[in-house]
Amino acid sequence: MKTTGVLGNFHTPDSIMHAASKTHEAGYKKFDCFVPYPIHGLDRAMGVKRTILPYISFTGAVTGLATAIGLQAWTGAVDYKLNIGGKQLFAFQFSIPIDFELTVLLCAISTVVGLLGLCKLPTWWHAFQHDAGFKKATDDEFVLGIYASDDRFHEESAIAFMKGLGAQDVRVVTEGNEHA
Amino acid sequence: MQTQTARFEREPLVLGNPSLGDITRKISGITESKPNMKFLMALGASASLMSWGLGCILYTMLNGIGVWGLNNPIGWGWDITNFVFWVGIGHAGTLISAILFLFRQKWRTGINRSAEAMTIFAVINATTMVLSHTGRQWLFAWLLPTPGNQMQMWTNFRSPLEWDVFAVNTYFAVSLMFWFIGMVPDLATVRDKVQGPLAKRLYGIFSLGWDGSMRRWHHYEMAYMILAGLSTPLVLSVHSVVSLDFAAGILPGWHTTIFPPYFVAGAIFSGFAMVVTLLVIMREILDLKEYITLKHLDNMNKIILATGMMVGYAYAMEFFIAQYSGNPYEGFVFVNRATGDYAWSYWIMVLCNVISPQVFWFAKNRRNIALMFVISIFVNIGMWFERFTIISTSLHHDFLPSSWGYYSPTWVEVSIFLGTFGTFLTLFLLFSKFIPVIAMAEVKSIMPYAQPHHGHHEEGGAHANGGGH
């Protein structure tokens, strides 16, 4: 049975905040806090680096704008010239609504795809998810988890460390006992 | 200190200060409960209405739009009226979810999920309406710049009608993504609560494996912010582009520069009225009075009053400019609106949209459930007539008296319109049963005890079962 990690539950936002910064200070890298709603400043306490998502979105926006201008200019003024009421074949003025819409559309799509990519979602299964106490993290408790894949991970010391932080119901989750 | 600050304290956003667990049980409990008789009857009635409407669309497809009452001067009738009406209804959802989010209006958390759902369902109706009027509906792909279609040429990007295709589709796609992404954490909460194996599986699939990881929340919050930032100009652009369908035409009564802001104000006005109509019913039936409080309704009624005044201003300004411009056709169209064949429609519009919301100047009226329900229905009616007035009065009497006419709908058009309400209500009822109707994660995050106390991080500050700042 492979150990996935150690979990411990907390009951207040203050205590998980405190635990997160202590875990970060202790040098653990592969740990996470599972919380029912975003807690202000918890990401900073955990030492999470600022997300690169805005760059992904911006790339999408630029692609959208380029696509819109390219599409309208190429179809109208290059590929099939059509004289409609003597209007110009391509002009920036009339291209603006579609420029705007495609910029927004591609930016939104890249934001969503980028979000799923960065979060590694969808993911259908995860050994923690069969732990009854872990499920409280989508309800009303705050769960700290240290993964066994962390370089500094030793089962006994991780358990002792978490108990020291005041975590309740500290337990080891292994990949075999998910139906226990 | 408590007593001194008490009179200046804001009303709580959620009444009764429920714990985090209470919120979960209450909201996800709705999805677990067995549907009762009342629900099934309402669903049956609205689904029948929807089927009747869709049947009439099928009838139109089989026979052509000759079965409608459209005639030579009046080529747009109830079809486009309904389209503009439903796109407008959609605006409240995006406004609540995006603009109020950026302005940190925390009261939006109680109502944003259901308002966004309304947006999606309203835009579905709008696209159905606009597709049904194209004549050969199965060739809808020709509206998109697809190569190698039978026309052997590209779409005309100089036409506002083509901008509309992009605007409405983008709006639908972005609203849907925004709505879904906002829902993922709540679907995960329901997944962890429900008992049935099928339900567990379905909520499991749609929650994408969300587990509340703060590392994920970190990306998630950024994504939500970006989507809100994108939706804010988007919501202003959609009805602006819809209004350009008219404003870029040369008809008197349509060819005015006031149209984009006027349409956007009207859209927000009608959208909020629809949100009030449905929320008043929903908070009663699903017993959500602690979450959708009188404060929420009060705030929405203020927005109805403000946008109603903007719409009233636009009516007056349109009239004034028509006379002041010295353009005889423009001047005639407006006098004709108020006194001509469609004067009844014009005055219904003024009565419902300008006069009726004035009762909301008084705080007591803004918190009177029965009254706001009636007013919101009036506003819905009035906004439908606004679109009808704009479309048919401009078309029926334009430049040459030889091409004047009158338009009345046939039973097919009336049925299709009623059917859109069936579609809207059917989808909304299904939503209220299967999807958490209140954004649980967001409501939890604004509870007074939800955020850590800054400055001291020691064990056991505020407890998640009560207390406050």
DSSP string, A132-155: TTGGGGGTT-EEEEEETTSTT--H
With an 8 Å Cβ cutoff, are A36 and B441 in contact?
A: yes
Contacts 24+ apart (CB under 8 A), B274-277: B274/B89, B274/B92, B274/B118, B274/B122, B274/B376, B274/B380, B275/B92, B275/B93, B275/B96, B275/B111, B275/B114, B275/B115, B275/B118, B275/B300, B276/B300, B276/B301, B276/B304, B276/B372, B276/B373, B276/B376, B277/B373, B277/B376, B277/B377, B277/B380
Which residue out of A25, A28, A37 would a mutagenesis test of the B interface target, given it has the greatest number of B Cβ atoms within 10 Å?
A37
Question: What CA–CA distances, in Å, run from B178 to B27, B172, B389?
Answer: 20, 10, 34
Q: Do B210 and A121 touch (CB under 8 A)?
A: yes
* Contact: B157, A72; criterion CB under 8 Å: yes
For residue A121, the chain B residues in CB contact (below 8 A) are: 208-210, 216
B40: which residues sit within 8 A by CB, 6+ positions away? none
Average pLDDT over residues B209-213: 92
Say what angle helices B160-191 and B214-247 make with each other, to 10 degrees. Answer: 150
pLDDT digits (tens, 9 = 90+) for B157-206: 999 999 999 999 999 999 999 999 999 999 999 999 998 899 999 999 99
Closest approach of chain A CAs to the CA of B338, in angstroms?
33
Distance from the A23 Cα atom to the nearest Cα atom in chain B, whole angstroms: 14
Query: Confidence class of residue B32 from pLDDT cuts 50, 70 and 90?
Result: confident
pLDDT tens by residue, A47-106: 999 999 999 999 999 999 999 999 999 999 998 888 888 889 999 999 999 999 999 999
Closest alpha carbon within chain A to B239: A97
Query: What are the E-state strand segments in A21-165?
Result: 31-34, 142-147
In this prediction, residue A85 carries a pLDDT of 85
State the Cα torsion B9-B15-B16-B18 to the nearest 10°: -110
Question: Is residue B230 over pLDDT 90?
Answer: yes
pLDDT for A126 beyond 50? yes
User: Contact B226/A105, CB-based, under 8 Å?
Assistant: no
Calculate ∠ Cα A23-A29-A34, nearest 5°.
65
User: Looking at CA atoms only, how far is residue B444 from chain A in angstroms?
Assistant: 7
B222 to chain A, closest Cα gap in Å: 7
Retrieve residue A145's tokens: 């988890």
Distance from CA of B64 to the nearest CA of A (A): 28
**Structure confidence at residue B11 as a pLDDT band (50, 70, 90):** confident
Based on its alpha-carbon atoms, the radius of gyration of chain A, rounded to whole angstroms, reads: 25
Of A12, A53, A123, the CB nearest to B219: A53
Task: Say whether residue A123 is in contact with chain B using an 8 A CB cutoff.
Answer: yes
Kindly state the average pLDDT of the residues B335-359: 94
Tell me whether residues B157 and A111 touch, CB distance under 8 A: no
User: pLDDT grade, residue A121 (50/70/90)?
Assistant: confident
Residue B456 above 60 pLDDT?
no
Mean pLDDT, residues B290-309: 93
Least confident of A41-45, B272-276, B351-355, B399-403: B399-403
Count of A-B CB contacts under 8 Å: 220
Residues of chain A with Cβ-Cβ distance to B230 below 8 Å are 104, 107-108, 111
Asked if A64 reaches chain B (Cβ–Cβ under 8 Å), the answer is no
What average pLDDT does range B425-442 have in this prediction? 93
Q: From the CA of A1, how many Å to the nearest CA of chain B?
A: 23
Q: Which residue has the tokens 């109680």?
A: B110
Please check the confidence at residue B406 and state whether its pLDDT lies above 70.
Answer: yes
- Token match 């083509």: residue? B162
Q: Is the peptide bond before B197 cis (omega within 30 degrees of 0)?
A: no
Mean pLDDT value across chain B: 89
pLDDT at A55: 97
pLDDT digits (tens, 9 = 90+) for A131-169: 888 999 999 999 999 999 988 888 899 999 999 999 999
Put simply, the answer to whether B226 touches A94 (Cβ < 8 Å) is: no
B337: pLDDT strictly greater than 90: yes
The Cα–Cα gap between A11 and B451 comes to: 12
Contact B395, B251 (CB under 8 A): yes
Measure CB to CB from residue B158 to each of A94, A104, A139 and give the nearest one.
A94
Whole-number Cα distances in Å, B293 to B237, B305, B358, B437: 31, 19, 22, 15
B451 contacts A39? CB cut-off 8 A: yes
Indicate if the pLDDT at residue A125 is higher than 80. no
Q: Which of residues B243 and B460 earns the better pLDDT score?
A: B243
The answer to whether B225 faces chain A, any CB pair under 8 Å, is no
Record: contact A108-B230, CB cut-off 8 A: yes
With 50 as the cut, is the pLDDT of residue B41 above it? Answer: yes
Of B154, B193, B241, the CB nearest to A79: B154
Q: Is A28 on the interface with B (CB under 8 A)?
A: no
Percent of chain B whose pLDDT exceeds 90: 70
Model pLDDT for residues B81-96, shown as the tens digit of each residue: 999 999 999 888 888 8
Q: How far is B224 from chain A (nearest CA, A)?
A: 9
| Global confidence as pTM | 0.91
